[in-house]
Amino acid sequence: MPTQPTDGSVVAVCRKAEPGVPKYPVEAVELVEDYGYHAGKFVRHRYLARLDPTKPNHRHVLITDTTIFADVARRGIDLEPGMMAENIVVDGVSVMAQPLGTQIEIGEALVELTEKRDPCGQLNASHPRLFEVVSTGEDGQVCWNAGMFARTLRGGWVRPGDPVVVKSQPEAS
């Protein structure tokens, strides 16, 4: 049986029982359809929940890629998976370059990118300059480079080494 071509692979999967930075690498995570690690039917982010507690939660899982780690390293901070509280680290797919609505198969799961992560000062728990570095470009302009949130369309297990395939991107309007 022929295998499907891959765009990349999973480098690490991370989790932590309670919210916060960092997350810790584990052998596998199970993504649950329409639920995820930033779990719940309605938005859980404290600020967003105060604005509208009935807003649907589309922040099921946080995905970063190795290009983000390389960019941060060029600016003097060496990161290990989980230090930005991400759940999945991939290589071969620049997550930040994908448009919102892009569907990506990661291991057994299928996710849809829903939101560019707006980083916050909690990242400084991993390094005192991390928030600054992922919030501004080398030219000093505001430029979020801290991963993408996705919602889980099809649940399944995700492990390091699993294939990552960009399945579809939204039509340009």
CATH number of the domain at 8-167, please? 2.40.33.20
pLDDT digits (tens, 9 = 90+) for 55-69: 666 668 999 999 999
Please name every residue paired with 25 in a beta bridge, in sequence order, or none if there are none. Answer: 14
pLDDT digits (tens, 9 = 90+) for 14-26: 998 887 889 999 9
- Cβ pair 53, 64 in contact under 8 A: no
Please tell me the pTM assigned to this model: 0.86
What separation in angstroms does the CA of 129 have from each of 48, 74, 126? 25, 13, 9
Length of the chain: 173
Q: Percentage of the chain with pLDDT > 90?
A: 55
Return the H-helix or E-strand segment holding 24.
Answer: strand 24-26
Buried-state track 35-50, b at ≥16 Cβ within 10 A, e below 16: bbbbeeeebebeeeee
